[in-house]
C-alpha cells in the first residue's frame, strides 16, 4: 500500500482505506488467533427491509443519543476507540450501513435516499428519540438527506470531514488530477518501513505515516480472514462501491432545521511549511507543484463550506489543523470536546 501521489489524494479525500475500489488486498496476519474486539459495546442487528439487516453497536451511556455513521469502506467499528469517550454524557450507537462489515449486502438500495431511510428505520426500531447524528466522509450524504427531510426527528448533525460534495469532486477534474500527478513522491517511503503484512505492523505503519491508526477491530470487521489466518479481500465487492458512487446527489443543506457542527482541517496555505509527507527541503519545482495543488484544493473545500453556510447560516464550523481526513482518529480529544460542547448547547431531551 505504498502511497503514490494519486493514492495520497485518495487518502485525503475518501475513506476507503483498505478497500481500494473494493478489490485491493488488505494486510496479511499470520497469527491464527483472532483478536477480541475490546470495545465495550453490545452488538445487535436491525432488519430494515426483507432480508436486509444492519449491524448496530451500542456503547451505552446516559444522556442525549448520539448515532455514529462511518465513511466509505468502513463499519461502525471504526468508532470503537472514540465512542466510549462520549458515553459519560450521551448514549452512543453506531450503525454499519448495508454493504459493509457484518451488515447485509443486498443487490440494491445504495442510493443516498435508501441509506438515509435505513438509518431512520434503525431509529424507529430501537426507539432512539431526538438523536445527534454524526457522520464521517460519505456519511455526509445520509446526514444531509436526514436533516433535509426529518429535522423534526433529530436534535443536531455533526459532519466529520463530511462536507465534500460528490457532484463537485476534485478527483473528477482532469486539471486537478494533473496537479496531483506533479506532486513530489511521499517521504513516507523512506521514513516508514514497518512490515505491513500484519495487523500490528500495518497499524504501526499508519502511525508513522499519518499519526493515527485504524482500530484493529475495524480492520478485522471489514476484511475477510483466510483459512490460514491471513487477511483476504475487503468484504465489500466492487459492485457495491459502484452502486454507492452512482447513488450520490448534490448536497442541499437548505432544508436542514437543526443545529449543525462541522469539523475538518482547512487545507494548508500554498506557502505553508512542508507537511510530514512532503520533502523537508523541496526544490523550486517541487515547491511550486505543492503550492499549486494546495491552492486548487482550497478552492474546492472553501466552496463546500460556503454551500453549507448558505443553507445553515449558523452552522458551527471548526478547523482542526493537522487532522487530515480521519479527524476523529487523528484529533480524538478535540473532536470529543467539540461534540460534547455541541450536545450540551442543545435543548434538553423531552421526558
Note the pLDDT tens digit of each residue in 206-234: 898 888 999 989 998 998 777 776 666 78
Q: Which CATH superfamily is domain 19-169+213-271+304-345 in?
A: Alpha/Beta hydrolase fold, catalytic domain (3.40.50.1820)
What dihedral do alpha carbons 177, 181, 182, 185 form, nearest 10°?
Answer: 140
pLDDT tops 50 at residue 323: yes
Q: What is the CA radius of gyration of the chain?
A: 20
- What is the model's pLDDT at position 82? 97
| Lowest-confidence region among 16-25, 26-35, 69-78 | 16-25
Residue 136: pLDDT over 90: yes
pLDDT, position 161: 97
pLDDT band at residue 23 using 50, 70 and 90 as cut-offs: very low
* Per-residue b or e along 138-153, where b marks 16 or more CB atoms closer than 10 Å to that residue's CB: bbbbbbbbbbbebeeb
Looking at the predicted structure, is the pLDDT value of residue 19 above 70?
no
How far, CA to CA in Å, does 292 sit from each of 10, 176, 182, 267? 17, 9, 10, 12
Does the pLDDT of residue 10 top 60, yes or no?
A: no
Local confidence band at 149 (pLDDT 50, 70, 90 cut-offs)? very high
Q: Where are the beta strands (DSSP E) in 21-89?
A: 42-49, 52-60, 64-69
pLDDT over 70 at 271, yes or no: yes
The closest of 315, 307, 71 to 167, measured between CA atoms, is 307
pLDDT the model gives residue 32: 37
Taking residues 294-299, what's their average pLDDT? 95
CA nearest neighbour of 123 among 133, 113, 135, 109: 133
pLDDT of residue 7: 38
Element (H, E) at 21: none
- Phi (first) and psi of residue 233, to 5 degrees: -75, 160
pLDDT > 80? residue 281: no
Domain ranges of the chain: 19-169+213-271+304-345
C-alpha cell at 28: 496479511
So what's the pLDDT on residue 337? 97
69 forms beta bridges with 95, 135
The pLDDT of residue 166:
92
The β-bridge relationship of strands 132-136 and 156-160 is parallel
Reduce the DSSP state of residue 253 to 3 states and report it.
Answer: coil
* Residue 273, burial from CB neighbour count under 10 angstroms (0-12, 13-18, 19+): exposed
Q: What is the pTM of this model?
A: 0.88
Judge whether 44 and 58 are in contact, CB under 8 Å.
yes
Tell me what pLDDT residue 119 has.
98
pLDDT tens per residue, range 25-38: 343 333 334 446 88
Amino acid at each position: 500500500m505504498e502511497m503514490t501521489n494519486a493514492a495520497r489524494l485518495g487518502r485525503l479525500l475518501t475513506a476507503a482505506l483498505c478497500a481500494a475500489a473494493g478489490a485491493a488486498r488488505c494486510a496479511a496476519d499470520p497469527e491464527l488467533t483472532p483478536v477480541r474486539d475490546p470495545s465495550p459495546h453490545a452488538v445487535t442487528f436491525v432488519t430494515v427491509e426483507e432480508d436486509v439487516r444492519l449491524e448496530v453497536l451500542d456503547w451505552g451511556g446516559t444522556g442525549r443519543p448520539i448515532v455514529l455513521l462511518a465513511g466509505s469502506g468502513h463499519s461502525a467499528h471504526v468508532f470503537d476507540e472514540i465512542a466510549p469517550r462520549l458515553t459519560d454524557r450521551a448514549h452512543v450507537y453506531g450503525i454499519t450501513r448495508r454493504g459493509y462489515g457484518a451488515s447485509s449486502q443486498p443487490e440494491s438500495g445504495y442510493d443516498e435516499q435508501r441509506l438515509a431511510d435505513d438509518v431512520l428505520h434503525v431509529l424507529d426500531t430501537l426507539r432512539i428519540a431526538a438523536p445527534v447524528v454524526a457522520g464521517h466522509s460519505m456519511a455526509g450524504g445520509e446526514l444531509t438527506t436526514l436533516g433535509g427531510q426529518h429535522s423534526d426527528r433529530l436534535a443536531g448533525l455533526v459532519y466529520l470531514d463530511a462536507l465534500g460534495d460528490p457532484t463537485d469532486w476534485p478527483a473528477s477534474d482532469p486539471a486537478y488530477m494533473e496537479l496531483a500527478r506533479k506532486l513530489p513522491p511521499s517521504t513516507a517511503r523512506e521514513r516508514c518501513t514497518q512490515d505491513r503484512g500484519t495487523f500490528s505492523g500495518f497499524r504501526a505503519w499508519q502511525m508513522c505515516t499519518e499519526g493515527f491508526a485504524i482500530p484493529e477491530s475495524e480492520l478485522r470487521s471489514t476484511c475477510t480472514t483466510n483459512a490460514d489466518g491471513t487477511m483476504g479481500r475487503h468484504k465489500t465487492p466492487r459492485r457495491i462501491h459502484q452502486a454507492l458512487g452512482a447513488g450520490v446527489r448534490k448536497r442541499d443543506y437548505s432544508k436542514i432545521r437543526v443545529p449543525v457542527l462541522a469539523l475538518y482541517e482547512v487545507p494548508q496555505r500554498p506557502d505553508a511549511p512542508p507537511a510530514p509527507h512532503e520533502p523537508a527541503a523541496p526544490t523550486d519545482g517541487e515547491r511550486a507543484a505543492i503550492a499549486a495543488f494546495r491552492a486548487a484544493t482550497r478552492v474546492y473545500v472553501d466552496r463546500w463550506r460556503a454551500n453549507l453556510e448558505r443553507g445553515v447560516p449558523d452552522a458551527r464550523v471548526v478547523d482542526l489543523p493537522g487532522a487530515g481526513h480521519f479527524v476523529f482518529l487523528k484529533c480524538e480529544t478535540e473532536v470529543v470536546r467539540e461534540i460534547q460542547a455541541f450536545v450540551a448547547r442543545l435543548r434538553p431531551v423531552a421526558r
